[in-house]
Amino acid sequence: MIHKILIANRGEIAVRVIRACRDLHIKNVAVFTEPDRECLHVKIADEAYRIGTDAIRGYLDAKRIVEIAKACKADAIHPGYGFLSENYEFAKECEDAGIIFIGPKSDIIRKMGNKNIARYLMHKNGIPIVPGTDKLNNHSMDEIKLFAEKIGYPVILKASGGGGGRGIRVVHKEEELESAFDSCKREALSFFNNDEVFMEKYIENPRHIEFQILGDNYGNIIHLCERDCSIQRRHQKLIEIAPCPSISANLRKTIGVTAVAAAKAVGYTNAGTIEFLLDDYNNFYFMEMNTRIQVEHPVTEEITGVDLIVRQIRIAAGAILDLQQSDIVPRGYAIEARITAENVWKNFIPNPGTIGEYYPALGPGVRVDTHIYKGYTVPPFYDSLLAKLIVKAGSFELVVNKLQRALKEFTIDDIRSTIPFLIAITKIKEFRRGYFDTSFIETHMQELLEKTEDRHQENKEEVIAAIAATLKKIRESRE
């Protein structure tokens, strides 16, 4: 049994976990940094403790968070996503302090949190991986170059410790390799404190398909179908869909069986996600495993009817997974749109500020996961996510219409948000048809900006002209 959970996170995911605690009649504890004093998670939690004045370091202060958990007699910690969620040392510290870490064991996080080690382990267990470098230790520039010649360009360089779309460089020709390698290493060191870089073949125009996994402490593991996360900008997800509208039931079954085998191979427990790339010929490759709850988990909840946070908590408390693979029958379609505080017309730079009028979309089949409210000031220190809008319906056509309807209804005044850009996505033919790959946003950028109807668009014409010129240059250089 778990009696009290400390949530080592902020914003919408902290709110989401607090709500699950309430549903389960478990006491909950929020932590917050000084700039987050007015954030919704602090207001709605049973108890809240300040973890320092430093905006970022507060949520990364593992020692202090464990101390608070001990002092307020919390018997478990939920790490959310980002921050300490994939930090095996933090999970270990919780284990050593006798506090339940709501996630997999620290040893699994250590192995699967490093993309290069995970690739190696998966390959050893017969799971298909993208062709690429095959050494476990750090790769030198010369080794990378040799491998690139062997597998052929384009290639993609990745930070072993990377995440959130950071530490990734696509290289189209040999002349670009060395500078990409250096800048990838620099970014990896500054963001992840680990400059290890490896390389994969760059799969052209793939779909990003990921499977949600749940496993208990007794070896029972199932998947909860897939999400299509191909709508990305700069390797970061904008829109996620469950199930994937462009794969057959047979292919779903094949990849699903592989995903469960991958999780079993490492003795995975709790919730996790296995990400795959799917090429034009339906070849699929393991890309990485996220050993935590994901931002886009609500779409899976909506089509399967399984509350993933409640399951995480129960599994961590030692419950047996009372779901079998045959119990998981997806119903209809769900889409999540990430609404962020960004200025579309200034290359999507974060745009913090104070929210004026605020009316979230409502109505049948609409869910909003957020921590914002009228009068809330978005601090500049964190991820620019304002709200996740999740809609569900019986068919893909209906769910896209509903997404468009809900986005048009959603009002967040006085700060710039990506709502008008997201509405533009719902107007594009390829999106509406349900067949798109990870190049969708880049390929359609000009059309998307033209269709973005924003009250603040003083430099719209210039931005569109600049995008058109850049796209033309890229096309020419690749011909």
> Please, which residue, 216 or 336, has the CB nearer to ligand ADP?
336
> Please, which residue, 196 or 275, has the CB nearer to Mg ion?
275
Per partner kind, with CB cut-offs from 5 to 8 A, the member of ligand ADP, Mg ion, none near residue 82 is: ligand ADP
> Please, which residue, 93 or 200, has the CB nearer to ligand ADP?
200
Binding to ligand ADP (CB under 6 A) within 263-282 occurs at: 275, 277
Binding to ligand ADP (CB under 6 A) within 299-358 occurs at: none
Per partner kind, with CB cut-offs from 5 to 8 A, the member of Mg ion, ligand ADP, none near residue 367 is: none
The answer to whether residues 328 and 260 touch, using CB atoms and an 8 Å cutoff, is no
* Using rule CB under 6 A, residue 202 touches ligand ADP: yes
Per partner kind, with CB cut-offs from 5 to 8 A, the member of ligand ADP, Mg ion, none near residue 75 is: none
* Using rule CB under 6 A, residue 82 touches ligand ADP: yes
Binding to Mg ion (CB under 5 A) within 266-285 occurs at: 275
C-beta of 455: minimal distance to ligand ADP in Å?
28
C-beta of 288: minimal distance to Mg ion in Å?
5
C-beta of 134: minimal distance to Mg ion in Å?
21
* Using rule CB under 6 A, residue 438 touches ligand ADP: yes
Binding to ligand ADP (CB under 6 A) within 119-178 occurs at: 130, 156, 158, 162-165, 168
C-beta of 164: minimal distance to ligand ADP in Å?
3
* Using rule CB under 6 A, residue 81 touches ligand ADP: yes
C-beta of 168: minimal distance to Mg ion in Å?
10
| Interface size with Mg ion, residues (CB under 5 A) | 1
Per partner kind, with CB cut-offs from 5 to 8 A, the member of Mg ion, ligand ADP, none near residue 162 is: ligand ADP
* Using rule CB under 6 A, residue 10 touches ligand ADP: no
Terminal CA-to-CA distance of the chain, rounded, Å? 61
Question: Binder to ligand ADP among 46, 54, 383, 447 (CB under 6 A)?
Answer: 383
The answer to whether residues 228 and 199 touch, using CB atoms and an 8 Å cutoff, is no
> Please, which residue, 152 or 165, has the CB nearer to Mg ion?
165
> Please, which residue, 274 or 399, has the CB nearer to ligand ADP?
274
C-beta of 37: minimal distance to ligand ADP in Å?
21
Peptide bond into 243 cis (omega under 30): yes
Span near ligand ADP by CB under 6 A; candidates 181-189, 201-209, 318-326, 419-427: 201-209
* Using rule CB under 6 A, residue 298 touches ligand ADP: no
What is the maximum span of the chain, computed from C-alpha positions, in angstroms?
63
Residues annotated catalytic, as ranges? 292
* Using rule CB under 6 A, residue 206 touches ligand ADP: yes
C-beta of 210: minimal distance to ligand ADP in Å?
8
> Please, which residue, 66 or 109, has the CB nearer to Mg ion?
109
The answer to whether residues 210 and 254 touch, using CB atoms and an 8 Å cutoff, is no
C-beta of 191: minimal distance to ligand ADP in Å?
7
Task: Write a three-state SS string for the chain.
Answer: CCCEEEECCCHHHHHHHHHHHHHCCCEEEEEECHHHCCCHHHHHCCEEEECCCCCCHHHHCHHHHHHHHHHCCCCEEECCCCCCCCCHHHHHHHHHCCCEECCCCHHHHHHHHCHHHHHHHHHHCCCCECCECCCCCCCCHHHHHHHHHHHCCCEEEEECCCCCCCCEEEECCHHHHHHHHHHHHHHHHHHHCCCCEEEEECCCCCEEEEEEEEECCCCCEEEEEEEEEEEEECCEEEEEEECCCCCCHHHHHHHHHHHHHHHHHCCCCEEEEEEEEECCCCCEEEEEEECCCCCCHHHHHHHHCCCHHHHHHHHHCCCCCCCCHHHCCCCCEEEEEEEECEEHHHCCEECCEECCCEECCCCCCEEEEECCCCCCEECCCCCCEEEEEEEEECCHHHHHHHHHHHHHHCEECCCCCCHHHHHHHCCCHHHHHCCCCCCHHHHCHHHHHHHCCCCCCCCHHHHHHHHHHHHHHHHHHHC
Which residues form the interface with Mg ion (CB under 5 A)?
Answer: 275
Which residues form the interface with ligand ADP (CB under 6 A)?
Answer: 81-82, 86, 130, 156, 158, 162-165, 168, 192, 200, 202-203, 206, 208, 232, 235-237, 275, 277, 287-288, 290, 294-296, 383, 438
